[in-house]
Amino acid sequence: MRANQIPTREVERTPMRFTDRVTADARHGWPIEAGRYRLVINRACPWAHRVVIVRRLMGLDEAISLAVTDPVQEIIDGDPHWVFTAETGSPNDLDPVLGIHALREAYLAREPDYDGGVSVPGLVDVPTGHLVSNDFDRLTLDLGSEWSVLWREDAPDLYPEALRDEIDALNEDIYRDVNNGVYRAGFAPAQDNYDRAVTALFARLDALEARLTRQRFLLGDTITEADIRLFPTLVRFDAVYHGHFKCNIRKLIEYPALWAYARDLFQTPGFGDTVEFDHIRRHYYYVHSAINPARVVAAGPHPGGWLTPHFREQLGGRPFGDGTPPGPPPLIDRVPPIG
């Protein structure tokens, strides 16, 4: 759907077209190799955000370089595209490593006749300029399992074998009702579609509130893949989803446990240091002109509340389990601090 196009049916995410995997045994033809791949993201996009978090937590900052597109998409041939600009560190509006202006160029390098949508994140093979994968779901799992040869020392286990079934089931519920649920509400083509989406969204948030009242993280004492998938939606909730997407039965800050949990994660290395609220607000309010025709960008809420004490440590637990927190991000990857 184009950014300025009024939806005519409920939002459904089409399967990813490019789903090759970079694995330890290179069974898809893409080997694990430091410096070979570039991760193209947008700071506003929650689907890209989860991949950035895993990259940070596992210490893959140096092994996989990061390319950040402009928060405002550019219309090319009638469609919105993720592009590189000087604002996000791309002199002459070209990515300094890939030498391209729009991510779609990597799609076309891989498949010259491709005429589908272009999404972030995109993992690109630097030597050829070909897109390897835009499968946001699989990318986080592979960075947290297949790339072990390049992990930092004492990296956490985000997808423990014993918990995988439970993580997968919870991820499915969170994706359906929360991650994608906010979009189904925001782009609902009719009242009944909106009513179903927003009801399911807040029923799930209520259930998560109850769950997190008694334990520090979604699966207990440590951070897992499930927390990484929930956080990007929570951190955008009051800033854009509550008003812009009409998810306004309650704000995140009105959920005592969820709000404290979200602050706990935000203040954990690898989470808050990957958030750029300015990009989030500018992208959503400006690009989605079908639901915000004037493209007026909201001024608030002020993000200072994310730095207030959360007291979740009283529930015990070890955020990284037997691992340790990641160090500071490389200078080139840092986001502006909350002022």
Per-residue burial over 188-203, b if 16 or more Cβ lie within 10 Å, else e, is beeeebbeebbebbbe
| Pairwise CA distance, residues 295 & 301, whole Å | 17
- 320 token code pair: 């990284």
CA angle 152, 222, 216 (to 5 degrees): 145
Active-site residue 247, yes or no? no
Non-local (6+) Cβ contacts of 300 within 8 A are none
| Pairwise CA distance, residues 282 & 136, whole Å | 22
| Pairwise CA distance, residues 212 & 256, whole Å | 10
| Pairwise CA distance, residues 183 & 194, whole Å | 10
Non-local (6+) Cβ contacts of 126 within 8 A are 35, 36, 37, 38, 65, 97, 98
| Pairwise CA distance, residues 106 & 44, whole Å | 20
Catalytic residue chosen out of the listed positions 45, 107, 241, 285: 45
Residue type at 179?
Answer: N
Non-local (6+) Cβ contacts of 41 within 8 A are 48, 49, 51, 52, 66, 67, 68, 69, 120, 121
320 and 222 Cβ atoms separated by less than 8 Å: yes
Catalytic residue chosen out of the listed positions 37, 107, 159, 183: 183
Within 10 angstroms of residue 20's Cβ, the number of other Cβ atoms is 19
Q: Which residues are catalytic?
A: 45, 183
